[in-house]
């Protein structure tokens, strides 16, 4: 493979990685409630330059990981207040994201 082709491959890989990173950040923001729900979410993500379907796929994948934890929080497994926050951090979870999901589950 020529050096030029290697550079092109590296540039393409960097572009893809940058897109995935941006979409993942947007997915975390969606889970934190920053883009609203339903059509509002779709409109706001699209207006911000994201591909709604790509971001929503990541949201769904993240939900699979965080959804059970949110249910555990509701059932008291992680404690309350600052103890909950510390326990979630120790377990490798984003406490704000988990709390947002808990709120969504409780208030629906």
Kindly list the domain boundaries of the chain, sorted by start residue.
3-106
- Residue 7 half-sphere exposure toward CB, CA atoms < 13 A: 3
- In the numeric block, the tokens 């920053």 are attached to 34
pLDDT above 90 covers a percentage of the chain that reads 43
Residue 97 has a CB neighbour count (10 Å cut-off) of 19
What's the pTM? 0.58
Q: What is the pLDDT of residues 43-71, one digit of tens each?
A: 999 999 999 999 999 888 888 888 899 99
């Amino acid at each position: 493979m020529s050096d030029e082709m290697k550079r092109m491959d590296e540039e393409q890989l960097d572009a893809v990685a940058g897109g995935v990173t941006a979409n993942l950040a947007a997915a975390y923001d969606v889970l934190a409630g920053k883009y609203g729900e339903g059509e509002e979410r779709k409109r706001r993500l699209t207006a911000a330059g994201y591909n709604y379907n790509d971001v929503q796929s990541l949201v769904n994948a993240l939900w699979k990981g965080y959804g059970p934890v949110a249910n555990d929080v509701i059932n008291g497994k992680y404690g309350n207040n600052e103890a909950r926050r510390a326990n979630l951090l120790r377990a490798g979870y984003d406490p704000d994201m988990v709390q947002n999901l808990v709120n969504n589950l409780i208030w629906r």
